[in-house]
């Protein structure tokens, strides 16, 4: 067996009050794709920051070896010089700049001290072609799709000719076809002898691509498995330290009257063009209505419009609990009992620099008011109640919400929505980017809500989740509903509807 | 991060101590009762405007027109009193209502038309300055019609009778202590982290000492100046607004993440417009005090006061991006700015160097903020 290109031995990383990594060991063989799996907060991000030189030598215990020799990175550039390139989850491209400008950012070809635009475009074209990317190097990257941008980012990293490529959740925002392209590119790079550390929440991907899998739990490396000799249940068991029997524990109960009904709804986007057309459906008390479809099918826009935060209504009527809900604003929607948990919690959900308590009670401050002032005692009691019920893991209600793991942040957003005592809850991708354990808890919350006689609309890109948690499913395609399905419909039928083939 | 915050607070206290020490060494009158009373009046004027500025900066806006507004609204009240014989209270009330209306309009334009407040209020800075000079016709307009005093002139010349001053100081000190202990008890009752009881006592004790010392010192001159009482009321109101009302929470939320604020059901437009309207009232009040302190409305009243207000906010830890800042910090920032100006005037520093020093302090404070809040 050849010498590993990268090896971590008994790494311990402490922060004031917490041990983030507790004796983590793993090794990366040449030409191998090695997946790191673990729940949020298991220590993956910390480990990557160590490998990429953000946490320099001396801030941790244990040793890091690159190519058989101990590596003592003082900075990111040290790690880059050692041949380590990192692709982060958040894209690091300048959206206003063109693909070519981004590729050559910081190392622009010059002629007489000025940028040689011609050469830059020519070189970019060559590089893109070589990598098999069909992108015009002269258009701003903000006009590219997320998938193309992600691939461009990899190409940019490849220009530094790394030996080790670390991919941190590269597919979190990609559609299935984009994921396939990305995975095949990474496999190509492996064939060229590059070693990869691959981090993803999506286990199907992990199994599709990796040679070995190291599982982290609570900051420790639990085990390293051969991908060919294990399965996802095994990995999940190691990740959570227990067996999860039923991935989608939906308890369907009796449904009541229709709480939200939509008739003939058509909505125009900012440009005035119709985006959603002729949409009709209803949701009953105690029911989970799933809405599926591909990216751009209009699912999030539909929820945002119902909530009053997106689009201009052309026609149609929305009734909430019997009364007409005019297209208005979120303030009115919340007052009437309709609440939205958005898909992008950092953008639409949280005031990230503020505390857990600040965020949780933000939509419900009025109910704590005695005359003009907030009764902070009543507020704290309510916050505590919700954070306990939702099992938010935070040092205290005054902890800054940005410091929590994704799953706990999501629970804070859900807590904020539920504190408004809604009748209808719109959940847009409520389990995106959160770990298996937290997902289970979110499903539990959905069950509790319907048991209390509330109606839930669940938008999800994950077909198994949609099929597992919904009582009825609508599939959308290009702004229209392409079919209503009952629980138990096959995945093939649903997909066909999503692709507009019905 | 907590350590940094402490370091940051500490560095501002050191800066103030250095400034005070420097002036005390170079000018024997600096720490005298008369000058400290004047400083209290100047601080009151600067800090009142800065507290209004805080309400505008918290949701991520800015008001550059405040200084011109101070001149204009003070000038309008002066003209109504001197040329038109209006009673002072009525003249000030009219000017106050006008201030609220104009700032309400600016706030409405900012949120409805999505114009950056930087531009709207920069326009306001110039327009109000021009209107101001038109209103007073480039002359000096006294704040009283005859030789006697009126409510307008008394704003900065009235001092509380000494026994009343002591009584007020005692009441405020006692109130302060009661609130700190009440707050601590509440926190413990709610299961939140609370500081040590001795620490609470020590803080309340030191605060009480300062309040009483202030009363003793000002009573050696003429008593607690009325503007300081006005500042006390404004500061209490702004503290209550920002920390204890939904309006205040919403200001922080809008400044912290406007999109999330919208989705959380916050009426963003109404909240920002309200902040501007309150700013209008505070600009008017500051205008009356500043004009009265100058003795008359002249073309230079209010010059650059908007920048002192912004500086006080930033020195006091307010983020210009919005979402961060407190009334207490702003008071502290205003104290640094007012002390600096007062000391330099006392030392007869030439205006050119005054400008340079003010600018340097502002830049330095922001630099430290950036360094220490990383």
Residues 6+ apart with CB under 8 A from B17: none
Cα B105 from Cα B286, distance rounded (Å): 19
Q: Which of A348, A352, A376 sits opposite B186 (nearest CB)?
A: A376
Q: Count Cβ atoms below 10 Å from residue A257 Cβ, excluding itself.
A: 13
CA-based angle A241:A244:A247, to the nearest 5?
140
| Chain B residues whose beta carbon lies within 8 Å of the beta carbon of residue A351 | 252-253, 256-257, 260-261, 323
Q: Looking at chain B, how many residues does it have?
A: 374
Q: Which residue of B has its CA nearest to A403?
A: B1
Compute the nearest-CA separation of A383 from chain B (Å): 10
Extents of the domains making up chain B:
35-158+225-328
Residue B3 banded pLDDT, cuts 50, 70, 90: very low
Dihedral of CA atoms A416, A418, A423, A428 in degrees, nearest 10, equals 70
CA-based angle B100:B103:B105, to the nearest 5?
105
Task: Identify the bridge partners of residue B92 per DSSP, sorted by sequence position.
Answer: none
Residue B243 banded pLDDT, cuts 50, 70, 90: very high
Q: Is B146 on the interface with A (CB under 8 A)?
A: no
Report pLDDT digits (tens) over B29-75.
999 999 999 999 999 999 999 999 999 999 999 999 999 999 999 99
Write out the H or E segment, with its range, that includes residue A26: strand A18-28
pLDDT of the residue at A501: 66
Compute the nearest-CA separation of B20 from chain A (Å): 34
Cα A318 from Cα A282, distance rounded (Å): 9
Ranges A174-178, B190-194, B251-255: which has the least confidence:
B190-194
Per the listing, tokens 């119902």 go with A306
* Subunit contact B249:A374, Cβ cutoff 8 A: yes
Q: Which residue of B has its CA nearest to A380?
A: B190
Cα A140 from Cα A448, distance rounded (Å): 46
* Subunit contact B259:A348, Cβ cutoff 8 A: yes
Cα B149 from Cα B243, distance rounded (Å): 38
- Buried/exposed B349-359: b ≥16 CB within 10 Å, e otherwise: eeeeeeeeebe
Compute the nearest-CA separation of B179 from chain A (Å): 14
ipTM of the complex: 0.88
CA-based angle A59:A63:A64, to the nearest 5?
95
Q: Which of B260, B266, B324 sits opposite A350 (nearest CB)?
A: B260
Q: Is B266 on the interface with A (CB under 8 A)?
A: yes
Q: What is the DSSP string of A215-262?
A: EEETTEEEEEEEGGG--HHHHHHHHHSS----SS--------SEEEEE
Report pLDDT digits (tens) over B300-358.
999 999 999 999 999 888 988 899 999 999 999 999 999 999 999 999 999 999 999 88
Q: In the predicted model, is pLDDT for residue B4 greater than 60?
A: no
Q: Is B260 on the interface with A (CB under 8 A)?
A: yes
Q: Is A92 on the interface with B (CB under 8 A)?
A: no
Q: Is A328 on the interface with B (CB under 8 A)?
A: no
B37 class by beta-carbon count within 10 Å (0-12 exposed, 13-18 middle, 19+ buried): buried
Cα B368 from Cα A183, distance rounded (Å): 46
Write out the H or E segment, with its range, that includes residue A99: helix A99-103
C-beta pairs of B164-169 under 8 Å, 24+ apart in sequence: B164/B223, B165/B215, B165/B218, B165/B219, B165/B223, B165/B224, B166/B215, B166/B219, B168/B215, B168/B224, B168/B229, B169/B211, B169/B212, B169/B214, B169/B215, B169/B224
Q: Which residue of B has its CA nearest to A419?
A: B264
Q: Is A224 on the interface with B (CB under 8 A)?
A: no
Q: Is B264 on the interface with A (CB under 8 A)?
A: yes
* Subunit contact B260:A347, Cβ cutoff 8 A: yes
Q: Which of A353, A365, A381 sits opposite B246 (nearest CB)?
A: A365
Instruction: Tokens for B96, please give them.
Output: 């106050």
| Chain B residues whose beta carbon lies within 8 Å of the beta carbon of residue A348 | 259-260, 263
Report pLDDT digits (tens) over B76-110.
999 999 999 999 999 999 999 999 999 999 999 99
| Chain A residues whose beta carbon lies within 8 Å of the beta carbon of residue B3 | none
3-state secondary structure B239-307: HHHHHHCHHHHHHHHHHHCHHHHHHCCCCHHHHHHHHHHHHHHHHHHHHHHHHHHHCEECCCCCCCHHH
Q: Which residue of B has its CA nearest to A304?
A: B263
Report which of A245, A248, A244, A251 is spatially closest to residue A448, judged by C-alpha positions.
Answer: A251
| Chain B residues whose beta carbon lies within 8 Å of the beta carbon of residue A372 | 244-245
Q: Looking at chain A, how many residues does it have?
A: 502
**Cβ B251 vs Cβ B61: under 8 Å:** no
Per-10-residue mean pLDDT, chain A, length 502: 84 79 91 86 84 88 89 87 84 83 84 88 89 84 81 84 88 76 87 90 86 89 90 81 70 88 93 91 95 85 94 93 88 95 91 95 93 89 91 88 88 95 95 82 93 95 87 92 90 81 60
Per the listing, tokens 């407190």 go with B326
Write out the H or E segment, with its range, that includes residue A317: strand A312-320
Q: What are the φ and ψ backbone dihedral angles of A66, each rounded to 5 degrees?
A: -120, 125
Q: Which residue of B has its CA nearest to A359?
A: B253
Cα A71 from Cα A55, distance rounded (Å): 13
pLDDT of the residue at A242: 60
Report which of A469, A421, A430 is spatially closest to residue A299, judged by C-alpha positions.
Answer: A430
Domains identified in chain A and CATH numbers: 6-240 (3.40.50.300), 258-337+422-498 (3.40.50.300)
Q: Which of B186, B189, B263 sits opposite A340 (nearest CB)?
A: B263
| Chain A residues whose beta carbon lies within 8 Å of the beta carbon of residue B260 | 347-351
Q: Which of B189, B191, B265 sits opposite A331 (nearest CB)?
A: B265
Q: Is B194 on the interface with A (CB under 8 A)?
A: no
Q: Is B340 on the interface with A (CB under 8 A)?
A: no
Q: How many helices (H) and strands (E) does chain A have?
A: 16, 24
Q: Is A329 on the interface with B (CB under 8 A)?
A: yes
Q: What are the φ and ψ backbone dihedral angles of A483, each rounded to 5 degrees?
A: 150, 145
Report which of A20, A22, A85, A19 is spatially closest to residue A51, judged by C-alpha positions.
Answer: A85
* Subunit contact A381:B249, Cβ cutoff 8 A: no
**Cβ B2 vs Cβ B363: under 8 Å:** no
Which ranges of B58-116 would DSSP assign to H, the alpha helix? 66-82, 88-112
Task: Identify the bridge partners of residue A274 per DSSP, sorted by sequence position.
Answer: A268
Q: Which of B189, B192, B263 sits opposite A396 (nearest CB)?
A: B192
B32 class by beta-carbon count within 10 Å (0-12 exposed, 13-18 middle, 19+ buried): middle
pLDDT of the residue at A148: 82
**Cβ B89 vs Cβ B288: under 8 Å:** no
CA-based angle A175:A198:A66, to the nearest 5?
155
Q: Which residue of A has its CA nearest to B267?
A: A331
Q: Is A70 on the interface with B (CB under 8 A)?
A: no
Q: Which residue of A has its CA nearest to B255?
A: A351
Compute the nearest-CA separation of B267 from chain A (Å): 6
Residues 6+ apart with CB under 8 A from A458: A288, A289, A290, A291, A427, A430, A446, A466, A469, A470
Q: What are the φ and ψ backbone dihedral angles of A481, each rounded to 5 degrees?
A: -85, 125
Residue B1 banded pLDDT, cuts 50, 70, 90: very low
pLDDT of the residue at B6: 56
Q: Which residue of B has its CA nearest to A385?
A: B190
* Subunit contact A358:B189, Cβ cutoff 8 A: no
Compute the nearest-CA separation of A146 from chain B (Å): 21
Q: Is B25 on the interface with A (CB under 8 A)?
A: no
Q: Is B186 on the interface with A (CB under 8 A)?
A: yes
pLDDT of the residue at A41: 67
Angle between helices B33-57 and B305-315 (to 10 degrees): 80
pLDDT of the residue at B198: 85
* Subunit contact A397:B192, Cβ cutoff 8 A: yes
């Amino acid at each position: 067996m050849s010498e590993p290109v990268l090896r971590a031995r008994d790494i311990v990383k402490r922060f004031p009050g917490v041990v983030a990594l507790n004796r983590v060991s793993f090794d990366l063989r040449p030409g191998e794709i090695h997946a790191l799996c673990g729940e949020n907060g298991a220590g993956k991000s910390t480990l990557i920051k160590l490998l990429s030189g953000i946490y320099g030598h001396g801030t941790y215990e244990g040793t890091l070896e690159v190519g058989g020799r101990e590596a003592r990175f003082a900075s990111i550039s040290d790690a880059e010089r050692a041949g380590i390139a990192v692709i982060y989850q958040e894209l690091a491209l300048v959206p206003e700049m063109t693909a070519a400008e981004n590729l050559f950012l910081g190392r622009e070809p010059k002629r007489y001290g000025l940028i040689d635009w011609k050469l830059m475009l020519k070189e970019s074209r060559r590089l893109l072609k070589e990598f098999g990317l069909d992108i015009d190097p002269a258009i701003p990257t903000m006009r590219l799709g997320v998938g193309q941008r992600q691939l461009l980012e990899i190409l940019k990293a490849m220009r530094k000719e790394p030996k080790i490529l670390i991919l941190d959740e590269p597919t979190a925002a990609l559609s299935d076809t984009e994921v396939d392209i990305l995975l095949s590119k990474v496999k190509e790079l492996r064939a060229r002898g590059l070693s990869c550390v691959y981090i993803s929440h999506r286990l199907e991907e992990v199994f599709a691509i990796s040679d070995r899998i190291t599982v982290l739990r609570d900051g420790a490396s639990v085990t390293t498995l051969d991908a060919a000799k294990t399965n996802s249940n095994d990995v999940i068991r190691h990740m959570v330290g227990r067996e999860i029997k039923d991935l989608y524990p939906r308890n369907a109960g009796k449904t009541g009257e229709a709480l939200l009904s939509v008739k003939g709804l058509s909505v125009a986007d900012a440009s005035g063009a119709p985006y959603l057309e002729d949409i009709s459906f209803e949701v009953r008390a105690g029911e989970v209505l799933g809405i599926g479809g591909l990216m751009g099918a209009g699912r999030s826009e539909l929820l945002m419009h119902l909530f009053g935060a997106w689009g201009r209504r052309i026609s149609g009527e929305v009734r909430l609990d019997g009364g007409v809900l005019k297209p208005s604003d979120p303030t009115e929607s919340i007052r009437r009992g309709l609440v939205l948990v958005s898909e992008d919690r950092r953008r639409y959900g949280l005031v990230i620099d503020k505390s857990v308590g600040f965020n949780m009670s933000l939509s419900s401050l009025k109910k704590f008011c005695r005359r003009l002032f907030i009764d902070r005692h009543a507020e704290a009691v309510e916050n505590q109640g919700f954070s306990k019920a939702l099992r938010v893991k935070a040092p205290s209600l005054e902890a800054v919400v940005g410091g929590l793991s994704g799953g706990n942040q999501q629970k804070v957003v859900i807590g904020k929505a539920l504190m408004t005592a809604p009748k209808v809850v719109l959940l847009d991708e409520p389990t995106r980017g959160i770990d298996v354990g937290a997902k289970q808890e979110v499903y539990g919350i959905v069950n509790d809500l319907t048991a209390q006689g509330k109606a839930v609309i669940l938008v999800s890109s994950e077909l198994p989740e949609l099929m597992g948690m919904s009582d009825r499913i609508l599939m959308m395609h290009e702004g229209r509903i392409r079919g209503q399905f009952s629980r138990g419909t096959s995945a093939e039928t649903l997909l066909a509807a999503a692709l507009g083939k019905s | 991060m907590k350590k940094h915050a402490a370091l940051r607070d500490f560095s501002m206290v050191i800066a103030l101590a250095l400034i005070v020490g420097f002036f005390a060494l170079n000018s024997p009158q600096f720490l005298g009762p008369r000058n400290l009373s004047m400083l209290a009046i100047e601080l009151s004027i600067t800090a009142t405007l800065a507290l209004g500025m805080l309400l505008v900066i918290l949701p991520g806006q800015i008001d550059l027109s405040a200084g011109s507004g101070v001149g204009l609204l003070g000038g309008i009240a002066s003209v109504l009193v001197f040329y038109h014989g209006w009673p002072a209270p009525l003249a000030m009330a009219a000017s106050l209502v006008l201030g609220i209306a104009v700032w309400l309009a600016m706030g409405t334009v900012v949120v409805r038309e999505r114009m950056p407040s930087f531009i709207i209020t920069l326009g306001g800075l110039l327009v109000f300055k021009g209107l101001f000079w038109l209103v007073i016709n480039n002359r000096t307009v006294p704040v009283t019609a005859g030789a006697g005093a009126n409510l307008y002139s008394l704003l900065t010349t009235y001092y509380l009778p000494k026994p009343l001053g002591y009584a007020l100081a005692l009441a405020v000190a006692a109130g302060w202590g009661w609130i700190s202990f009440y707050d601590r008890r509440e926190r413990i009752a709610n299961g939140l982290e609370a500081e040590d009881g001795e620490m609470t006592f020590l803080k309340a004790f030191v605060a009480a000492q300062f309040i009483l010392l202030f009363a003793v010192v000002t009573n050696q001159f003429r008593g607690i100046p009325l503007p300081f009482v006005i500042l006390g009321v404004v500061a209490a109101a702004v503290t209550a607004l920002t920390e204890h009302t939904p309006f205040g929470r919403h200001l922080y939320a809008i400044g912290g993440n406007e999109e999330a604020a919208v989705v959380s059901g916050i009426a963003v437009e109404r909240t920002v417009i309200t902040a501007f309207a309150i700013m209008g009232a505070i600009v008017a009040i500051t205008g009356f005090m500043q004009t009265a302190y100058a003795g008359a409305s002249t073309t230079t009243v209010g010059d650059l006061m908007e920048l002192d207000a912004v500086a006080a906010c930033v020195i006091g830890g307010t983020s210009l991006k919005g979402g961060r800042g407190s009334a207490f910090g702003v008071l502290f920032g205003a104290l640094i700015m007012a002390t600096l100006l007062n000391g330099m005037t006392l030392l007869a520093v030439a205006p050119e160097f005054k400008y340079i020093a003010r600018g340097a302090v502002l830049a330095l404070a922001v630099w430290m903020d950036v360094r220490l809040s990383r």
